[in-house]
Amino acid sequence: MSQTVSADGGASYAAAGVDIEAGDRAVELMKEWVKKTQRPEVLGGLGGFAGLFDASALKRYERPLLASATDGVGTKVDIARRMGVYDTIGHDLVAMVMDDIVVCGAEPLFMTDYICVGKVHPERVAAIVKGIAEGCVLAGCALVGGETAEHPGLLGPDDFDVAGAGTGVVEADRLLGPDRIRTGDAVVAMASSGLHSNGYSLVRHVLFDRAGMSLDQQVEELGRTLGEELLEPTRIYSLDCLALTRTTDVHAFSHITGGGLAANLARVIPDDLHAVVDRSTWAPGAIFELVGKAGRVERLELEKTLNMGVGMMAVVPADSVDVALATLADRGVDAWVAGEITERGDRATGAVLTGDYAS
């Protein structure tokens, strides 16, 4: 460990709470995990001031469009901290970034991360990066670099936060979005793995502050402890969505994150059309019912905050539904037809949920 004062008794960086040696140790521990994410276009390794990606790989595109996104995982990090489990939160980070990028049909290329801690615990930081690296493998992208910042005095010794930024590429004439959607298209829903990484401020308030539940509490309807359920990693759909673009004429994707299903789906619906989603086509998981009942949260409020069991949606031509569902089934993704695209008429919003959830 660094000494708390310099040789002459003056102030030092270590005395202020920043341990450079611990940071160096964390970098050494994470190198093996970052290496697992490498793509042939990546040059060099950790330790440089910038990650390098060989852009000549884009020459095979006639008009390559770069897609970029940045995000974090919100207050879900508090669950990881309280449980002392750090190697799954990175999956959430990759999903939040790369599943936004794939919505336009872009192939994920590379990602960088930012980890901010109150005190560097090398093994803990390495575990976080391990999760990010594993997520990058699932998304098909490289982790080309990042930053670990130690902020003593601003964060407690065990506090941390994570964020990331990613880049992808799509051929201009393969760009997905509202312009492709037509009346009669089907809306295909892909099941979420749980809460994913949105709405945890509501979830924590309801389950801990109001219902008095604990992370180690075994919950019969969940089939595991509450903490295990809340820490379930966000599903990464990037490669599943790209598979759909190869087997079907996908018109659009919608990543169901903050704001809920209807609001996120409306973002990819053109002004003259409308998406109608039938709740009766699926049953949300037990965690959604638990949050609703524990906090007496009204259904519309839940739907504005949580994904309600749907993590990604695809809009495809009606005659492509069977191929789309078969493609997703082959990849182990539970999917179903949840709605359709209609004329908008005098409807005020671009998407609406109808009916009642299946029991």
Would you say 254 and 103 are in contact if contact means Cβ atoms under 8 Å apart? yes
Would you say 99 and 312 are in contact if contact means Cβ atoms under 8 Å apart? yes
Please say if the pLDDT value at position 66 is more than 70: yes
Run of H or E residues at 159:
none
Beta bridge partners of 69: 166
Q: Which residues lie closer than 8 Å to 346 by C-beta, 6 or more apart? A: none
Q: Smallest Cα–Cα separation from 116: which of 85, 158, 88, 82?
A: 158
Q: Which two tokens stand for residue 80?
A: 């990881």
User: pLDDT value at position 46?
Assistant: 63
Please say if the pLDDT value at position 342 is more than 80: yes
Three-class DSSP category at 75 = coil
- Of residues 40 and 91, more confidently modeled: 91
Please say if the pLDDT value at position 24 is more than 80: no
Please say if the pLDDT value at position 73 is more than 60: yes
- Using one digit for the tens of pLDDT, what is the confidence trace for 250-273? 999 999 998 999 999 999 999 999
* Mean pLDDT, residues 294-321 taken together: 96
Residue-averaged pLDDT of the chain: 90
Is the pTM value of this prediction over 0.75?
yes
Q: Which two tokens stand for residue 334?
A: 């539970």
- Of residues 52 and 313, more confidently modeled: 313
